[in-house]
Amino acid sequence: MGSILKASIIGIFVFVVACLPPILHFITGPLGPIIGGFVGGTVVKATPRLALAIGGCMGGIGIFVCIGGLAVIMNDFVQDAAGVLQVVVVSSVGGLYVGLFGGLGALIAAKLSRK
pLDDT in tens, 87-97: 788 889 989 99
Regarding predicted confidence, which is higher, 21 or 51? Answer: 51
Cα dist. 2→50, 53, 63, 65, 68 in Å?
11, 12, 20, 20, 24
Among 38-42, 61-65, 67-71, name the most confident range: 38-42
Percent of the chain residues topping a pLDDT of 90:
37
Domain ranges of the chain: 2-113
Q: Half-sphere exposure (CA, 13 Å, Cβ side) for 6?
A: 10
Confidence check: pLDDT of 57 > 80: yes
Yes or no: say if 88 and 56 are a contact pair by the CB < 8 Å rule: no
